Structures are given as structure tokens and as C-alpha cells.
Structure 1
Amino acid sequence: MQGENVSLHCRKKDANSSYTAKFYKNGISIGSSSSGNIMAPTVSKSDEGLYKCSIADAGESPESWLSVADLGFPQVLPNRQQFFQGEPITISCEGLNGRTGWRVMKKINGDIRICASTWETLIGSCNICNAYPSTDSGEYWCEHGEIQKSNSVNITVSGHPTVPYFKFYLVLYTGLSLLLVVILLILAGLFQHHKHQQTIRSHTKEMSLTPDDDTLYSKAIYTTLRPGETELKGHKKRAD
């Protein structure tokens, strides 16, 4: 695993005699040891390769592939790398590769520091309550025991909305506009319905107050014409 120390051992069948072992990586000598051991400190991905050893009068060992496991990345919550000014950010390394006790480090404008007020107080997550471009935009990674170092992530804090947020606000504005149009159409329909009902009620009331033709013709309207003569609407009649 990256950051760990790796020991290479070379043994001779006849362990009672002293010997010097030479070690090779990809066919190139990387050192020798009279004890038959060699240390590769704080290995990284660049240390991967084929290793072998040789002992005088004993020959060479078979080659063995050394694989260096990746330490992974810090966990960023919310799970993205671009943020707005004032947003909260949590960077966690706990449980990385099954270990605890990680510290979150950051590099801002070339300055490397811990992601906390003091080195002694922070083991675990780094909580940024209100992100700010000049103090929180940078490179973040995890360290364990000042030796093991994880891969890094780059976090950008912007003071202005980015394209995804612009699209979100555009969709929100469009949706609210459509909702307003629907509400206005419903109100207009209700107004027209109410107006139509009022017209019907008014017309019904007028019809109930207007006399019909039979009533008008059934009434006798007399007009005095001259002494001894009257007129009944529609014909004349002389008084007896």
C-alpha cells in the first residue's frame, strides 16, 4: 500500500554460512545486504515492478511482482468538486483503506496546511461551514502518521453561479411562470362563469315582472270621448 515500508528478503538454503544478497528491480541493481534484507521505505506506485535477488555461489531467485495498492481519495460531501461561496463542505478520510486516524491536508495557493485550526485537534473529517474562494479553493488529501498520503482532490469555490445552477434557476422560473398562467386561466374561467350566472338570474327576474299579452288584452281601458259615448279598447259603444 502506498506510504508503507516494504522489506525484501533473500534467503540461502544453507543458513549457517554468511552471504551477501544483491537485489534487482526490473533487472537493475538497487542494492545489496549482508543480512539478506533490504528496506523500501514509503513505497509509491512508481515502486511497482519485478524484483529478484542473487547470492554468490547460489544463483538468482525467481522474479516477483511488487504491487502497490492505491490509497484512494478523500470523500467529499456533497459529492462534487465545484461549490458556491457560502456553501458547507465536508472532507473525510475516516475508514480509508480500513484505517482511522487520518488527517485532512490542503494546499491553498502553494501553502500546505491542515484543514483545521491546529494540528493536534483534528483527526477525522474537515468541516467547512461557509466556503470562500480565496481560503478554500485548492488541493485536499489525507495523511496518516505523516507518512502515508492518499490521492488528492481539487475543490473549486466560486463566487458566482455556474452553468448547472443557471439551468436549475431557468427551469424553476419556467415552471413558476407556467403555474402562474394556469392560475390566471382558472380565475378567468371562474369570473366568466360567475358573470354568466348573474346574466341568467337577471333575465329570469325581468321575465317574472313583465305582464303577458293575454293579461294586457283582458283589461278594459275606458276613455271618455263625449257625453253619452265611451270607447272600449278595440271598439266603440254608445251609452243607453
Structure 2
Amino acid sequence: MVIQAGCSNFTGAIFPHIVPNRLQFFEYESVSVHCEVDNNITEWRVKWKSHKIKNASHTSTSPCKIYPIFESHSGEYWCENEDGIKSEALNITITAGFVILETPTHPVMEGNEVILNCKNKKTQSEHITDFYKDGVSLGTWNQSSMTIKNVSKSDEGLYKCSIDGAGESPESWLAVIKQSKAGFVILEIPTHPVKEGNEVNLNCKNKETQSEHITEFYKDGVSIGTWNQSSMTIKNVSKSDEGLYKCSIDGAGESHESWLAVIKQHHPAPYNKTDLSHEVPKISHDEFPKTLILLWTVICVLLVDLLLLLVGLLLQNKYKVSACFSSAQGSHSCEDNTVLQEEYTQVSYTSVQKELKVSREHIETVIYSSVN
């Protein structure tokens, strides 16, 4: 089996698109599944779940081309984006037999014309065909196709056909949706996905009037309820609110369905204490006062040293002046007192050193006691 896949970016998908445009195929044919949407914003992928093989599934970029195709490829096919937003699913059936039924792949509008074609793999010529709806025979046609004119909801159901001598086709679902009144009703809905927890307003608009009106809202084809106004509000929206919405106004018609997409609220990743790249050195409350005391103690030591040095210099100068003054009155000259000055300087320096040593010892004791 060869699977060829291209890559496209889409948003707003409702149904996948099948090429060729049918839901039944013979084995060994080629089929492509595309995600048909409005804008090129988000990447969509084609997903399918097999009907033949239990728990078998597959994901591919869009478009997804499968050749050759086998019965095992029968299943549900849909489009899904990276946020988990899904389109409607289509059931594709592959048969090893010789008869298939060609039906519309997407829902048809009430009032339109529908053609069902019974195809024989062995021949392209016309043949007598029996058609069935929900297992009940609709009759025999002298040609390979039947036409349903002015189709209605009552025509919705499972169809198949049979050709004498060739066999019977698988069943396919024909979906019919109600016709709105010439497009007089539209549903205003957010164009982009909304985040969980936000508030969403859906407004049902009537082309004929701007006044308020009684409105019925639907989600995934099921009535939500009737409002006495043209809008409804979904507060604290969640993923469970995601789906196809439409509205109807009595006497005006029904809107088309539109997809409301909801994405999960993204939260920042929790701080990982083991991640050293985010570690910031911190000083504890117990260590901070000790550090401050130590800093101030060092400053005080330096100031005391400077003060004692200044005292020593002042004492030295004072003695020198006293010695010179006394020499003028006595027998000694100023030069003779130089020796006395030097001796006193030595004594003064020694005493200053002792005082500095005592001061340092006292300060070290204070630092040790404050830190511990």
C-alpha cells in the first residue's frame, strides 16, 4: 500500500471532502481525503477509525491519498487540528464485491433533487436495479439510477442497491437538512476558537427585522431550548460546549450550522526546584543580621586602628615640642633631645601596638559571639 500525503493549513472545517465525491469504493481504487475550510490559519490532519479492524486508526496530513484501497480502510474519516477541534465524520465503505451505490457525501438541503446511482464494476452499461431504504425495497428501476425530487427529511436514511447477477452494494446514509427561508436567518458566532472560562454570545439574526424575537437554539442537531430574545450567552465556556450550533426563528426559517471551537486555557509550567538554571542565591532571615553585624564590626576595627594611629602621632609631636621647649631653659639643646625623642617614640609606638592588639582581641571576641 502506498500512502501519499500533502500538507495544507486550514480552519473552520465542517466536513472532509472525498475525491472521487462518493462514500463507496471498489478495492484497488484510489481515494483522497481533504479538509475543506475557509481560511489558512491552523494545520488540520485527516484521521480515520477502521470499521473492520478493532482499535485500528490512522493520522495523516491533508490531503491524504490512499492507493490502493482495501476493505480494511472502511471506517470514519474526519478532520482534526492541533487543538483537538474536529469536523463532522464521513463513513467511507470499501467493498471487495462488484456493486457500489453512489450517494451525496454531504447533507442535502430540503427541496433539492438527489440522484442515487448503482454502479457495476463489470460493466458501464445500464441495468435493471433494485433500490432499498432502511432495508425495505423501494422498487425496481430499468436503469442504474433513481432520482428523489424535492427531497425532505422523511427521505433521510440508509440506502443500498442490488443488480441481478452482480450482487448487492453496502449501505450508505443519506442526510437531509431543513431548508431555511431564502437565507433570512443567520447565526452570529465567534470566528476563532474561544478559551475555556470565557463568555460566549450567540446571536440569531433575522434579515427582515432588527427587533427581538423568540429564538430556538440547537447544538449538534439537538434543541438547547427557546429564548425570548435573539441571543443566548454561554458563561464560563468549556470543551463540552464545543460543537455545531444553529438557530431558528418561527416564520423566518433556520440558520446554517456553524462550529464553535473551544481551546483549553494554557497555564505556565510549574517551577521546578531541581532546575538549577532557575536557582537564585538567597540569604535567610537568620543569616542576614549576622552578616550585617560582621560588616559593621570590620568597619569599626578599621576606624579604631586609624584612631589609635592618630593618637600615637599626636603624642610623638607633643613630646618633640616639649623637649625643644625644655632645652631652651636647661642645659640640653634641641638636637640633644633627639635621642630622647626617638626613645619616647619607640615607647609610644610599642604602647600603641599593645593597645591595638588588645582592641583587636576584644573586637574578635565580639565578632565571634555575634556570629555564633
TM-score bin, normalised by smaller chain = 0.3 to 0.5
**TM-score normalised according to structure 1 size:** 0.37
* Higher RCO structure (Cα 8 Å, ≥6 apart): 1
**TM-score normalised according to structure 2 size:** 0.26
